[in-house]
Structure 1
Amino acid sequence: MLRVLVPPTPTFFAKDMPDLTGRVVIVTGGNTGIGKETVKALLEHNAKVYLAARSRAKAEAAIADLKTATGKEAIFLELDLSSLASVRRAAEEFLSKEHELHVLFNNAGVMWCPLDQFTTEGYDMQWGTNVVGHFFLTELLVLALAAGAKTSPDGHARVVTTSSSGAYFASGLQWETFKAHPNRHKMGPKALYFQSKLGNAIVAREGARRYGDKSILCYAVDPGSIKTELQRHASAFEKFAMRYLLYPAPYGALTQLWAGVMPETLQLNGEFLVPYARLGRCRAEMYDPRLGEQLWTHLKEQVKDH
């Protein structure tokens, strides 16, 4: 556990990535933090990148910054993961322009949201955004991913979902807390966040099993303890402490870039990857096939009418 929270010096860097000419990639939450650093590295290696974000203004500012830094321009894709209608519109917008998707980085997330925040469909904001929204987006793009696998140099498409070391601290899945319930208040924002990150890991593992026959690989990634806008709901004391404990955003992009583009991770389908660019091990729940099937079936039911 200590080697996850205080990881060894990286041996993989963005400069080690192959040329990505011809690859089409989506990065959710690509306008800031780890997502922006991920987009930057992909552009530098000639990928065609769709930067998915809620705010057009913030996304366009990020796209301008990235063009200055790389000479390449990402493409804005409007996406609010807290609204399943928005998720569908984003998928339809992408599919109107592209028939193939080679890598989907389910990177966006929210952390420690106030308990009075819910998604449009009434989910706890953290569960709905981090888990349900990304699950739905991935399902809507499966055919594009399958098509991308056929033209990818390594014969596979990839789905990289950003989990967290917070998954280690979850106490299983408290199903009733996915929506409004008294037990949400007993858990509190931090435990609800940990639960959502475990949910990300379980979905990635089950996705690896279900999408394998389509040559789509799935990974859950702990990016490390990284300073980003995710900490905006932290207390003043927590923010002060984090100034000395967290690593810069470029470090956070390393493990998910490794998962998304490097040949050695072809053999790690369904695994939990930890900082920096290493195979790790999540809680036992991630590897429970019955729980994976149960959660997948639940999520399919939640999105079926959207």
Structure 2
Amino acid sequence: MPRQRWTTADVPDQRGRVAVITGGNTGIGFETAKALAARGASVVLAVRDTTKGKRAAAEIAAIAPDADVTVQRLDLASLASIRAAADELRATRDRIDLLINNAGIMYVPRKTTADGFELQFGTNHLGHFALTGLLLDRMLRVPGSRVVTVSSAGHRQGGPIDFDDINWNTREYSRVAAYGNSKLANLMFTYELQRRLSGTAETTAVAAHPGGSDTGGSRTSVSLQPLYFRALFALVRPLLIQPAAMGALPSLRAATDPAVRGGQYLGPDGFQESRGHPKVVTSSARSYDVAAQRRLWTLSEELTQVTFPV
């Protein structure tokens, strides 16, 4: 890649392109949407709370008056909602250039989705798997189209994924391990999707992670820790946490940099990939297990009843 300190100034002209961003009303998703809209993209904020989505769209319009920003209701914890959202997007969009699978939940207590899946795995992985499969045919013939899935450094706390007990029915539940599994699944999904896309479509699949970013999820994760940890973290926080706008850069580069290739993974270039400008990074050894990737894909198709046109 030609530059090491890639910023929003390096985002190419996005006029004529359509970007669908899950969770685009807050945090990293909002910063991603704002940057793409400012460069001319038609942006769809796919969000669970449309009131918050409309507020975010208005805030972007105040910054970029010519921005084309719309709001689409999407609850990734409900396959019915995902199908409804996909139907609406397919009815109104004949092409999608960027699908940015950004939304996610982190370290929640054990709950299930509307369809009975463990909530973190069901939302972070299965929801995005289903949405991607239902929208992919709007992307396959679009030159330069990309599926960008946002993982996390926390994927290293996941795995091996127990494919026989995805919903933690026979084990003591660990919210940290469950989150790690969902983020590991994001990467395994990206790598397997890219393998299926290779040589057959204009579309590529890329992954990114934001490092330590100042978002609601990161603040919640710290609040769950013991008091001594929170006190220690307050001292080192400036070294590990960056603004959400910086955390969005890996997603933006993954989505728009012509030098990025399918199957790559981008994250910050600083200490332990916590802060800094985006570069290509490597993920855990488990994430590259091809047999596990394929097993995850098959299981995901069975659970969501969504098959891909590749």
Flag whether TM exceeds 0.5 (same fold): yes
CA contact (8 A) 1:27 1:52 kept: yes
Aligned counterpart, 1:90: 85
Displacement of 1:239: 6.2
The one-letter code matched in structure 1 to 2:255 is: G
- The answer to whether the aligner puts 1:80 opposite 2:95 as a matched pair is no
Once the two structures are superposed, residues 259-302 of structure 1 have per-residue CA deviations (whole angstroms, 9 ceiling, x without a partner) of 1011110xx21122221321111112222221111111110111
Aligned counterpart, 1:181: 169
CA contact (8 A) 1:110 1:126 kept: yes
2:44 counterpart SS class = strand
Displacement of 1:95: 0.7
**RMSD value over aligned CA atoms?**
1.9
Q: Return the structure number with greater helix share.
A: 1
Distance 2:202 2:286 in 1: 25
1:263 counterpart SS class = coil
CA contact (8 A) 2:11 2:39 kept: yes
Aligned counterpart, 2:16: 22
Displacement of 1:15: 1.3
Aligned counterpart, 1:224: 211
Identity among equivalent positions (%) equals 34
Once the two structures are superposed, residues 181-214 of structure 1 have per-residue CA deviations (whole angstroms, 9 ceiling, x without a partner) of 13142xx101111111000000000000112212
User: Which of 247, 260, 264 is equivalent to 1:271?
Assistant: 264
CA contact (8 A) 1:66 1:73 kept: no
Aligned counterpart, 1:211: 197
CA contact (8 A) 1:184 1:192 kept: no
More deviation in 53-62 or 242-251?
242-251
Distance 2:160 2:95 in 1: 36
Aligned counterpart, 1:152: none
Displacement of 1:174: 2.0
Can you give the 5+ residue segments of structure 1 that lack an aligned partner in the other structure?
1-8, 150-154
When residues 158 and 228 of structure 1 are mapped into structure 2, their CA distance, relative to the original with a 3 A threshold, is same
Aligned counterpart, 1:191: 177
More deviation in 176-185 or 235-244?
235-244
After TM superposition, the structure 1 = structure 2 runs for residues 41-52 of structure 1, keeping only pairs within 5 Å, are 41-52=35-46
Once the two structures are superposed, residues 22-74 of structure 1 have per-residue CA deviations (whole angstroms, 9 ceiling, x without a partner) of 00110000000000000000011000000010001111111111111221241
Aligned counterpart, 1:298: 299
Aligned counterpart, 2:154: 166
Aligned counterpart, 2:124: 130
Q: Give the TM-score normalised by the residue count of structure 1.
A: 0.89
Q: Give the TM-score normalised by the residue count of structure 2.
A: 0.88
Aligned counterpart, 1:5: none
Distance 2:165 2:172 in 1: 5
Displacement of 1:111: 0.2
